[in-house]
Amino acid sequence: MQGAWIKVQGARIILAAGLASVAVLTGCRQDMHDQPKMFPQRSTPMFADGRSARPQVENTVGRGQLHEDSYFYTGLVDGKEGDGMPFEATAAVLKRGQERYNIYCTPCHSRVGNGAGEIVERGYKLAGNFHTERLRSAPLGHFFSVMTNGYGAMPDYSAQLTPADRWAVAAYVRALQLSQNAKPADVPTGVEVKPLSKLAEEQGMPPGYAADWSVPNTAAPVAPEVPKAAEPATPAASGTSSVAPATGENQKAPAPAVTKDAAPATAKTAALTKPKGPSPEDIAAGKGVYMANCVPCHQATRTGLPPNIPSLVGIVSRVGPDRIRQVVTQGIATGKIQMPSFASKLNSTDIDHLIAYLGTD
């Protein structure tokens, strides 16, 4: 009898323990399933302002986000692009800028910065040419701002380049500009200037390994404008340049060859008589016009970047001078890369000189 009672009590104890375990397990699951917490943007009566998300303490700055030197991080001074480095442009900085530039910038801008990189030659939109007068005179902060924010078809590179690297690249762009537009006075005394081919030869490179870059020479002289009164009423159909009155400086130009018995021409007849072809002075002036305005797209070699930018080699014989004059003054609004009008930049004499230069081999 006593043994039966013990068994019943034991069963009750086991049952109670089991029920307790179930209760404990149920309670644990409920607590994990429905934890007390604040939901973002949800109101709560816990705080006086009724918001569950607490505002940051005043003047709190995230780690690494102080940006106390605003010029270093923006390139702007009072909202305008500044000119100058926020730190010293040492040789190490320029070397770092060259390395980053060659990695990220050369596909579009090329190693020399003339905007004719590899992907541009394969049809991508023409990139900026750092050797134009506009970009040579642009403040240094402009290049930093473009790398930070992008510009036109160019994306920003703030994810690829740290602010310090962007400044290093901007400093290297300035060095590129100087390298292609340097004056004799910029070369230190006693330093010999050597062509790239010579430097490559001295370093044991094979012939043809390096050659001088084909870049715009915007320093080429451009012929002065002829007063409008001296311009011909109708452009020459042959595309040759008009002849200014034989006064002043152009009196010094060599006269065309004449026979032994021919009478010397007077200044009046020389001004009214058109030569059979453009003079060397016209061609030289046309080259200056071309280098200052056409090279960024059509290249110094006049070969362009087909198929988007046509070659101008032999263009005069192919389309005629009148068509060239029309395109230069009106532009071309069709195509993947559109050509702007140069009517506001070039007068009729400039265009005659340009046609004379394009007509040469």
The CATH number linked to 153 is 1.10.760.10
Within-domain flag for 154: yes
Establish if 265 belongs to a structural domain. Answer: no
Predicted pLDDT at 243: 36
Task: Using pLDDT thresholds of 50, 70 and 90, give the confidence band for residue 90.
Answer: very high
pLDDT digits (tens, 9 = 90+) for 38-51: 787 888 888 898 98
pLDDT over 80 at 7, yes or no:
no
Give the residue from 183, 202, 218 where a domain finishes. 183
Tokens of 126: 């023409």
Phi, psi of 305 (to 5 degrees): -135, 70
Domain span including residue 91: 70-183
Q: How confident is the model at residue 218 (pLDDT cuts 50, 70, 90)?
A: very low
Model confidence pLDDT, tens digit, residues 288-333: 898 888 888 888 888 888 777 888 988 888 888 888 998 898 888 7
**Type of residue numbered 255:** A
Is pTM, for the whole model, over 0.75?
no
Looking at the structure of the chain, the number of domains it has is 2
**CB-based burial, 92-129: b 16+ in 10 Å, e otherwise:** ebbebbbebbeebbeebbbebbbbbbeebeeebebbbb
> Over 80: is that where the pLDDT of 272 sits?
no
Cα gap 170→140, rounded to integer Å? 6
171 shares its domain with 278: no
Same domain, 232 and 300: yes
134-139, long-range: CB < 8 A, 24+ apart: 135/177, 136/177, 136/181, 136/218, 138/81, 139/81, 139/82, 139/83
Instruction: Please report where in the chains the tokens 């009517």 appear, as a residue.
Output: 343
Report the pLDDT value the prediction gives residue 317, as an integer from 0 to 100: 85
Q: Which of these, 300, 139, 324, lies nearest to 220 by C-alpha position? A: 300
DSSP secondary structure string, 334-351?
-SSSPBPP-TTT--HHHH
222 domain residue, yes or no? no
The answer to whether residues 236 and 316 belong to one domain is: yes
Q: Are residues 175 and 84 in the same domain?
A: yes
Peptide bond into 107 cis (omega under 30): no
Mean pLDDT of 9-27: 67
Percent share of the chain, pLDDT over 90: 28
Q: What is the reported pLDDT for 77?
A: 94
pLDDT exceeds 70 at position 217: no
